[in-house]
Structure 1
Amino acid sequence: MSEAAAVLRSQSRMIVTSGHKDLGPLEFTGRIGGGLRADLKRRAPFYASDWTDAFRPENMQKSASIILYLFIAALAPAITFGSRFLDGTNGQFGVLEMIMSTAISGVLFSTFSGQPLSILGATGPFLAYTLVVYDLGIAMKLEFMPLYFWTCMWCAFITICVALFDLCALMKHVTMFSEDIFAGLISLIFIIDGIRPIIQNFSDGWFGGTSSMSLMSAMFEALLFFYTFGLAIYLSHFRRTPWLLRPLRNLFANFAVTISLVTASALAAIYKTETNLRMLNVEAELAPALTLSTGAKRPWIVNPMGIETEFPWWGIVFAILPAVGFAVLGYLDQNLTSVIVNRPSNNLKKGPGYHLDLFVRGALTLPVCAILGLPLSVASTVPSITHVISLTTYEVQQLPQGERKVPVKVVEQRATNFLIHVLIGCALLLAPVLKFLPRSVLQGVFFYMGIASLTGNNLFDRLFLWLVWEPKNYPAYTYIQKLPVKRVHLYTFVQLICLAILYGLKAIKETSVVFPFFMASLAIIRKALRFMFTAEELKYLDSYPDADEEDALEPQPDLENLPEEPKVAEAETAQKHTDI
Structure 2
Amino acid sequence: MWSDVRRRLPFYKSDWLDACRRSNWLTVATSVVRIFFINLMPALAYVLDMYERTEHSYGVNEVLLASALAAIVFSVFSVQPLTFVGVTGLTDLMNYTIYRIFHDHYGFDQIKFLRMQAWVLIWAAGFHFIVAIFNMCDFTRFITEMTSDTFGLYVGVIYVEKGVEQLIQEFSMPNHDNATGWLSVTIAMLFCITVYYLTQLGASTYLPFRIRRTVGSLAFVAGCLFWSGFSHFPKHSIKEVPISYLPITRSFFPTLDRGWVVDFWNMEVRWVFVAAPLGLMIMLLFYFDHNVSSVMAQARKFPITKPAGFHWDFFLLGITTLVSGILGLPVPNGLVPQAPDHTDSLSVYEQVSGADERQKNVEGATPVEPMHHTSVAASFLHISHFPRVRNVRVVEQRLSHLIIGLLTLGTMSRPILVALSMMPRAVFAGVFLLVGFASIESNPIVTRTLSLLQDRAALGPLAHSSLRRTTLARFVSIQWLFFGMTIAISQTIGAIGFPIIITCMIPCRTFLVPKLFEPNEVTSLDAPTADAPAVMISLGPKNEDESWQPVNYTDS
Amino acid at match of 1:42: R
Is structure 2 residue 317 aligned with structure 1 residue 361? yes
Which of the numbers 426, 432, 442 marks the counterpart of 1:446?
Answer: 432
The answer to whether 1:433 aligns with 2:433 is: no
1:131 aligns with 2:87: no
After superposition, where does 1:393-408 map in structure 2 within 5 Å? 393=348, 398-400=356-358, 404=368
Letter of the 1:161 partner, please give it: I
Which residue number in structure 1 is paired with residue 491 of structure 2?
A: 507
Compute the displacement of 1:407 (Å): 5.1
Structure 1: 5+ residue stretches without partners: 1-35, 291-296, 548-562, 565-580
For residues 131-210 of structure 1, the aligned pairs below 5 Å read 131-138=96-103, 139-142=105-108, 143-199=112-168, 201=170
Partner of 1:269, secondary structure, is coil
> Which residue of the partner structure matches residue 44 of structure 1?
9
* TM-score, with structure 1 as normaliser: 0.78
Q: 1:177 touches 1:495 (CA, 8 Å); kept in 2?
A: yes
Residue deviations 1:504-561 (CA, integer Å, cap 9, x gap): 111111x2121111111122333323444333333323338999xxxxxxxxxxxxxx
Distance in 1 between residues matched to 2:529 and 2:29, nearest whole Å: 36
Match of 2:200 among 237, 254, 261: 237
3-state SS in 1 of match to 2:440: coil
Question: Which among 184, 208, 213 is matched to residue 221 of structure 1?
Answer: 184
Cα shift at 1:385:
2.9
Native 8 Å contact 1:76 1:258 kept in 2: no
2:38 aligned residue:
73
Cα distance, 1:37 vs. partner? 1.0
Q: Which residue is 2:295 aligned to?
A: 339
Determine the C-alpha separation between the residues in 2 that align with 1:304 and 1:504. Answer: 33
Match of 2:264 in 1: 304
Of 229-238 and 402-411, deviating more is 402-411
8 A contact 2:452–2:469 mirrored in 1: no
Aligned length, in residue pairs? 494
Taking the aligned partners of 2:484 and 2:159, their CA distance within structure 1 comes to 15
1:40 is displaced (CA, Å) by 1.6
Q: What whole-Å deviation, never above 9, does each CA across 1:203-255 have from its counterpart, x for those lacking one?
A: x69xxxx99x6122221121122122222212211234566666554443222
The Cα shift of 1:272 comes to: 6.3
Offset of residue 136 of structure 1: 2.5
Whether the 8 Å contact between 2:290 and 2:333 is mirrored in structure 1 is yes
Alignment partners' CA distance in 1, 2:201 and 2:392: 27
1:481–1:56 Cα change, 3 Å = closer
- Report 1:484-503 matches (<5 A): 484-503=468-487
| CA deviation after TM superposition for structure 1 residue 259, in Å | 2.0
Closer/same/farther in 2, CA of residues 58 and 458 from structure 1, 3 Å limit? closer
In structure 2, what is the equivalent of residue 84 of structure 1? Answer: 49
Q: Does 1:380 align with 2:340?
A: no
Name 2:376's counterpart in structure 1: none
Percent same amino acid at aligned positions? 24
Q: 2: distance between equivalents of 1:375 and 1:546?
A: 29
Q: CA deviation at 1:61?
A: 4.1
Distance 1:119 1:472, change over 3 A: same
> C-alpha separation between the residues in 2 aligned to 1:500 and 1:242?
38
Contact kept, 8 Å, 1:117 with 1:384, in 2: the verdict is yes
Q: How far apart in 1 are the matches of 2:529 and 2:75? A: 33
| Pair 1:523-2:506 in alignment | yes
2:166 corresponds to which letter in structure 1? P
Q: Give the TM-score of the pair, scaled to structure 2.
A: 0.81
Cα–Cα, structure 1 residues 184 and 340, in superposed 2: closer, same or farther, change >3 Å?
closer
Q: CA deviation at 1:345?
A: 5.4
Unaligned 5+ runs, structure 2: 362-366, 369-388, 532-553
Partner in structure 2 of residue 109 of structure 1:
74
Label 1:39 to 1:370 Cα distance change in 2 as closer, same or farther (>3 A): same
User: Aligned Cα RMSD in Å?
Assistant: 3.0
Structure 1 residues 151 and 47: CA distance shift in structure 2, 3 A = same
Instruction: Say if 2:152 and 2:336, in contact at 8 Å, map to a contact too.
Output: no
- Helix, strand or coil at the partner of 1:350: coil
- The CA distance in 2 between the partners of 1:394 and 1:343, in whole Å, is 16
